[in-house]
Every structure is written in C-alpha cells, then in structure tokens.
Structure 1
Amino acid sequence: FLQDRYQTTTGGAGQGTAMLFEMNALFEEYVGRLIARALAGTGLTVSLQGGRLFCLSAQDSERGLFQTKPDILIRRGGAIIHVIDTKWKRISSRIDDPKQGVSQADVYQMMAYAQLYRAPRLTLLYPHHPGLGPEDLVHARHRITGHDTILETASIDVSNSNNMLTRLRRLFLSEEPKVRCAYA
C-alpha cells in the first residue's frame, strides 16, 4: 500500500501524503470488537456505544439532558454487569503519582456511569506501554465510596496480538482480576 515509501520531518522540496487517524475512536472500536469476539459464547453480550441514558432530565418537561455514551457495555441476560471506557492516553506507574495519570474528569465520567447504569464493575481501559510492566493487566481497583461498585484501571497491549482474545477474557471474565499495584 505504501510501497516502501515514508515521510520524514526534514526539510526539502519533495511532497508527501499524510494520513491521520483519530486514535481515541480507532482504539475504542478495535478493542470493543476484540472484546466482543473474546466473550462470544460465554453467555455475555457486548454492546459498543450501547448506552444512551441521560444524566439529567428537565424538571418541568422530563426532557433528557447530557446524554451518556459508554464505549462498551457487557450484559448478562438483560442486566448490565460491566461498563468499559477506553482511553487513548498514557497512564503512569510512577509511585510518586498516586493517581497514575488517570484524570479526575475520567473518574467523574465513570461515577456517572455507575449511577446511571448500575453496573457492579467499571473499567477505564488504556493502551499498555513498557513503562507499566511486562504484561497488560488490571493496575488498580477501587470501590466507589458508599457503594459496592468497583472502578478499575487496566491496560491492554495492542501491539502484541499473541493470545489477545485470551488476555481479554482473563481481564473481563475474572471476578478478582490480577492487580499489580494500587493508587490512593
């Protein structure tokens, strides 16, 4: 397709063609489809962009405001048991960063999902990188204060296609996922 051609950032008179991809959407779609394949035959159903609940409704008209769109919903029967939101961001494993690079806005978003979708398990899923350790896994698990809902941060190595479906099953089918570290 590219015929061994590439573009450099050095100056010159040559012209080139560039392609840009919206990596958030690409990561979400790729991982969502892989999770659906990984969980096929387990009795669970996977929906991509499957939720459309509103955070608020107008008091006078009941008109919905601030519609949510969780990236991935996993259901058992009709009940949502897991909400996964993919983030094309680099998280940290530094011990001096207790939040591991997870943004407060992302946590608030997941708390809204917890309230609206009533799923017992929520996951912020990031791309894995070598700084996080040798394997993709759940990095931290937290209970949302005052609730039984678990919010976890996890990563998946999309550059390593070996056993990808098995790794995803391990991440999302286990009740007590493997945890390497936790943040405060």
Structure 2
Amino acid sequence: MPAYSVREWEALPHGDGEGCIPPHLAARLVALARTSPFAGRGGGGVLEHRREDLRARGVVGVLAVPGCTLEILPKIDVGEKEGSTQEKREVRKRLVHMLAVALDLKIETGRMTDLDWQDETLLEILIRIFCDKLTEAVRRGMPRRYTLHEDDLPTIRGSLNIPRQFTRHIANPGRLACRYDELSDDIALNRIMKATIGHLARMSRNATNVQRLRELAFVYADVSEVSIPALRWEDVVIDRTNRSWQELFGMAQLFLRNRYQTTSAGLGQGSALLFEMNALFEEYIGRLVSKALAGSDFRVKLQGGRLFCLTS
C-alpha cells in the first residue's frame, strides 16, 4: 500500500508518478480529514483539495484510508537536504521528542534504528514504542486491585449483605447474600490498555506491529472489553504499586483521548492521528522554558491574557 509524505503548508501534486498522488486517493484522504475537529467550519483545516494538488495545513500526523496513508510532517530545519529520507528521519525524531515533552511522557527510542525512522510513518513508530513498553510491562506482571463483589453463594464469603439476605432470600436460607473483595486484573487500567491495543490494531498497516498487537491482545483476553467512550479514566489511580505503568497510561491517552490530537474513524473510511501544530509547539516551548527557569524567581504561564512573556 503506498505511503505518501508531505510537510505542513506544502502540497502533493495530483498524478500517478513519483512524488504525486492519484486524485481518487486524495479525495479519500480529504473526506477523512473533514471528520476531524481540526477541519474547521469549511472542512479544509487539515487538507485542502485543490484542482492540481493536495495541500496540507497546520496540522501534523498520519491519515490512513483504504489504499494509502498520508503522513504530514512539521516544517523543522534539521540540517538535512530538503525532501530527503534523512530529513524525514530527523523530523520524525524531533516530532516524537516534542510529543514526549509536551505530554510529559518518557518515550524511549533506543531500540529504533535509523532505518526504522526512515521507513516507518510517525504512527507506526509510536505504535512500535507502545508495543515495546507494554510487552516489557506485562512480563513483569499486570496490575491488579481488590474489587468489591456481591453474589449469592451457598457458603459465607466475606461479609453478609443483611438487607439483601432478608429481602431476596428470606424464604431460601440455603443461599447467602455475600459481599467480598477479590484480587482481580479486570480493572480500569487494564481495560484501557486492552482498548488501546484493539484501536491500534485497526489503525496499523505494519505487519510486524499488527502481529505484536495480536499477541498482546491474547494476554488481555480475560479483561473485559469496553468501548472507548465508556472507558473510566477517572478510576485509574497511579501509585507506588503501579508507577511503572504511568508512561503507558499516558501513551494510551495520547492514542485515545483528544489532547492536541484526535483519532477519527468512519465506517470503512479510515482513521487518523493528528496534532494541531500550534498548540503542540506552544506546550512544548512552555514546558522547556518552565524547566529552564525552575528554581528562579520567574514563572511561566501559557496564554495568560497579558502581553508579557515572563513575570517575576
């Protein structure tokens, strides 16, 4: 399946030759882009479908439709020849670094070779990093918590639910209404991981990534499957017992929640992982400045409504 790449605010000409995109594939990408919240009122906030070409705007990321994928990279000067594979490699590295800083993630890329950065899209790179981290985490053991259960049992377990016992089983003393705690891995954090695995398996076009996601899905076979809108993010508590899962939880939010990005999927239409570059860059710079000024008399405030960059 062909994979196209373009930098923000630049265009891909229509055509069948190298460096061109067939008009029917461009139309599919535009239809998907219009479903994004970044599309704006006129629907052209992500991609502009012009007569002679397909032009990207100030949104970066990956769009995948039946027949092709389109990667939109930021315009960053990395000291490489413009349009070369080396430039794309370095830009992807910078973009992943920006995401890590802006979203407060510790994304380790030590296992990624230069060939990986050159040949894979941003989406596949992020999926591979997620698979690496999740595989290592499940080898150490999935997080578990005690969850409250209520059941009617032949023998007492835990404590007796007296109101239920005398309303439901007053005529059947052979059944006891029990309330008890049970150590379980069917908890909110694991349900989020399972939802992320399924979501990425539908988005990925890389055979290796898809295979690894299938293997991880098997590990989570006994965890309840919950739709993405129904996930209970607020039930996740990161403490000393599951601190090692904090980065994975952050990456799950990156893929599933609308923070600087959105994932869109229509019936047979495709999916997208997009980031509004202005918001992402602002957060990135703000965090770098905050870190640089830590311990000083200055404080950093993004979009504070005043004309001052720094206040003391």
More helix as a share of residues:
2
Give the TM-score, by structure 1 length.
0.31
**More strand by proportion, 1 or 2?**
1
The TM-score, its normalising length taken from structure 2, stands at 0.21
The structure that has the greater radius of gyration is: 2
